[in-house]
Amino acid sequence: MRRTTVLRAGMSVALLMTTVAAALGTQASAADTHATATESAGATTTAPASTALLTAMQRDFGLSKDQATARLAAETSARDVERAAERAAAGSYGGSWFEAKDGTLTVAITDSSRREAVEATGARVALVEHTERQLDATMARIDAHDAPSGVTSWHVDPETSSVVVGVAADRKDDNDVRAFTAWARKAGPVTVRTVRQAPRTLAAGTVGGDPYYTGNVRCSIGFSVYGGFVTAGHCGQAGAGVSGWDHSYIGNFQGSSFPDNDYAWVNVGSGWWTVPVVLGWGTVSDQLVRGSAEAPIGASICRSGSTSHWHCGTVLAKNETVNYSQGAVHQMTKTNVCAEPGDSGGSFISGDQAQGVTSGGWGNCTSGGETWYQPLNEILNRYGLTLHTA
């Protein structure tokens, strides 16, 4: 286990027991309910974050405690509005995004006759040219086409009603990159943007910290599931052994996919156990996990990893294809949260809702950057896993 195993485990259990005891008076029937991917996706909560998580948001967003609390409450509401608004928009739905400055969800539609029904859900409406279905079709055409290494990623962007293709600044004039972007523009509505750097995966060689290891690679635990934990696929192949910071045996990779996807899960045994907690590494308190309801574009999100610990930022895009040197990974979520080598596989969480596992990015936590994660619910569904929740 970790060097602080007994202390951490005791604190985690105490935190969990306090939460359960407080809940018994009002919601006893929920005590024995395990959150599956489907159940978690619909979760809501009246206590969206601990004091420590609010403190981390204040630090990274420059907010007061009241402002951080209000933002999390607005994001929780936006998750419910998003589902209702998509149903109201029907076939004209073009995507949605959260506006942090005023705490509202904007829903894109192509048919103005649906405006009243969508606004009735509490969403703001933006008229756009293309439906989400049309943009997804463009994404699929681009996904089926090999991209040169100078093309960094592509994703559906509801605000521009197009598929945004990223090109590394130092490769934008390459002939292969020019040819690819010219072809992409013919595949459908496409916007080309120059980005600072190409993404890389965030595994690292054996160094100190509070990691897990497979071979000489260090990565970070994502979220506890019943029987193990989820993490990034590029950290190890199925069957590979996993050890803790002290190199004591934990388990093995039971399933792993990379590239195309970037997810995996590891079984836990040999004296190790799972708890519904994301580690704060002493920067903030350990955080309880209560579900996996997906945060909208524009929502706040925080990340925990064994190298750079706790950092927060914003969801920038969903369903983005990231073109690593090892191959493309699909259906990723992009954030402006920083990360560093060794953070791979670590937790992305919004409020108390688990979001995904760290895949890769560019930059660092000194100068900033962008990081992608593989959404959690896809991993749970792929392997038939159940998220361990408080």
Query: Residue 270: how many CB atoms within 10 A of its CB?
Result: 12
The interaxial angle of helices 65-89 and 51-61, nearest 10 deg, is 90
CA dist 229 and 223 (Å) reads 5
Which among 153, 224, 344, 359 is annotated as catalytic? Answer: 344
Which among 155, 234, 309, 388 is annotated as catalytic? Answer: 234
Which among 157, 262, 286, 343 is annotated as catalytic? Answer: 262
What distances in angstroms separate CA 13 from CA 16, 33, 210, one per listed residue? Answer: 5, 18, 19
Helix (H) or strand (E) holding 124: strand 124-127
Task: Give the burial class of 329: count Cβ atoms within 10 A of its Cβ; 0-12 exposed, 13-18 middle, 19 or more buried.
Answer: buried
CA dist 119 and 123 (Å) reads 5
Active site residue 234: yes
> Which tokens sit at 141?
């055409």
Bridge partners of 108, per DSSP, are: 126
**What's the start-to-end Cα distance of the chain, in Å?**
21
Instruction: Look at the chain and count its residues.
Output: 390
Active site residue 343: no
Helices marked H in 122-278 — which ranges? Answer: 132-143, 175-187
Q: Are 281 and 309 in contact (CB under 8 A)?
A: yes
> Which tokens sit at 156?
């559906």
CA dist 134 and 163 (Å) reads 10
Active site residue 262: yes
Residues annotated as part of the active site: 234, 262, 344
